[in-house]
Amino acid sequence: MADTVKNLASYAEALARRAHRAAAALRAARAEQKDAALRAIADRLRAEQDAILAANCRDLARADEFGLTPAQVDRLRLSPDRIEAMARGVEAIVALPDPVGEVIDEYIRDDGLQIRRVRVPLGVVLFIYESRPNVTVDAVALCLKSGNAVILRGGKEAAYTNDVLHRLMVQEIERAGLPADAAVRVDIQDRELVGELLQCDRYIDLAIPRGGEGLIRRVVQQARMPVLKHYKGLCHVYVDRAADLTMARRIVVNAKCQRPGVCNAAETVLVHEAVADRFLPGLLEELFARGVEIRGCERTRQFDRRVLPATEADFSTEWLDLKLSMRVVRSLEEAIEHIARYGSGHTEAIVTDDPHAAEQFLTMVDSATVMHNASTRLCDGGEFGLGAEIGISTDKLHARGPCGLRELTTYKYVVRGSGHIR
């Protein structure tokens, strides 16, 4: 055992060093070179469709063994259409401007000293994720374009698919004159190895875990480097006393039902008591018709006894399912307090025609994304025009909300003088 741990530790460090060396070369890579590699990757994905599908079949054949749910199997499964979508995703990243080298600000002092803040890559990103194979391609493309080396640690359920995708991407990266270790894949499925990688803060600059809350908490606990993440997306929609109730109903239904299993779906709806009588009966009818299970406060239950009584724990639960918590509040302030207490800092929306209520909500709710008269489902890198996203952050430092290329960079101060001293 002691030997295994020592071997794992040195294996992890060797992987991390390889990526670290690649990162030094990527720091100076030109935009054209990176874009050429990405274009070649897109073409290669299309050309190798059969090989990718064959590997995917091998993963699908093991799905029962790993006990995947039908939803998980569906996320794992590739098709010609899904491979085409991956290739287009890479081309969309090619089309984005290179963030590296951007002069964020510049200041020239009276004595001629030039001070610039220049955008530079972070270095090495450790990306830990589950199931969907397209995430492998997105992560490599985003990291390469932003000049970072990436260490990929995907789930065992997609091991064959990820292996093929990784190999063909690395070949194209090398062919473009960039280091093969720009994308290092962790090919041993061992949780201890992840633990060891998370100790390598000398070589790895950032860890990004994407998956269930358990995975993310484990990563945060073990990591010595910074972690970009959200634990959960417990998103709220607040229907104000001055809401357009038709709009409110459309937004609530969309936020809960359009895709209930994702982090930006609504989990709790708060309704101002002044509109509860007019709003709730119709809303509840529609939600029940759509198969939503509802847990509500006593006031909510008075409108429909199919509403189950909500407990404290229900208001802290990210359902990720056709389930919804509901509460009638006496004021905008009570809604803001409820969100401060139970929210996860991800995305919250207010529906109102009162501009003052909207401003108060947008200012006082301390979440990564706050919305007025729009569905929480719209909080997404693609919808926000970032291109693909590497994740969504509920942290306050560095990056908040959907994270794209810019969030995979840092800056340095570059100072040019002509003998300036102090």
Kindly list the residues in this chain that would bind its own copies in the complex (CB under 8 A): 24, 27-28, 107, 109, 113, 115, 120, 122-123, 205-206, 226, 228, 244, 247, 250-251, 254-255, 258, 340, 358, 362-364, 366-375, 377-379, 383-385, 395-398, 400-402, 410-422
Smallest distance, its own copies to C-beta of residue 308, A: 26
Whichever of 41 and 392 has its CB closer to its own copies, that residue is: 392
Smallest distance, its own copies to C-beta of residue 58, A: 34
Paired residues of 149 in beta bridges: 124
Whichever of 73 and 362 has its CB closer to its own copies, that residue is: 362
Q: Is the dihedral of CA 258, 260, 266, 270 positive or negative?
A: positive
Smallest distance, its own copies to C-beta of residue 122, A: 6
Structure tokens at 109: 């002092």
DSSP state of 110: T
Whichever of 297 and 368 has its CB closer to its own copies, that residue is: 368
Instruction: Round to whole Å and give the CA distance between 272 and 329.
Output: 5
Instruction: Round to whole Å and give the CA distance between 164 and 50.
Output: 11
Smallest distance, its own copies to C-beta of residue 154, A: 24
Whichever of 57 and 108 has its CB closer to its own copies, that residue is: 108
Smallest distance, its own copies to C-beta of residue 65, A: 35
Instruction: Round to whole Å and give the CA distance between 378 and 266.
Output: 11
Smallest distance, its own copies to C-beta of residue 141, A: 21
Whichever of 65 and 105 has its CB closer to its own copies, that residue is: 105
Cα–Cα–Cα angle for 337, 343, 349, nearest 5°? 80
DSSP state of 266: E
**HSE toward the beta carbon, residue 142, CA cutoff 13 A:** 29
Q: Is the dihedral of CA 393, 395, 399, 405 positive or negative?
A: negative
Whichever of 88 and 396 has its CB closer to its own copies, that residue is: 396
DSSP state of 43: H
User: Tokens 């949780």 — which residue?
Assistant: 191
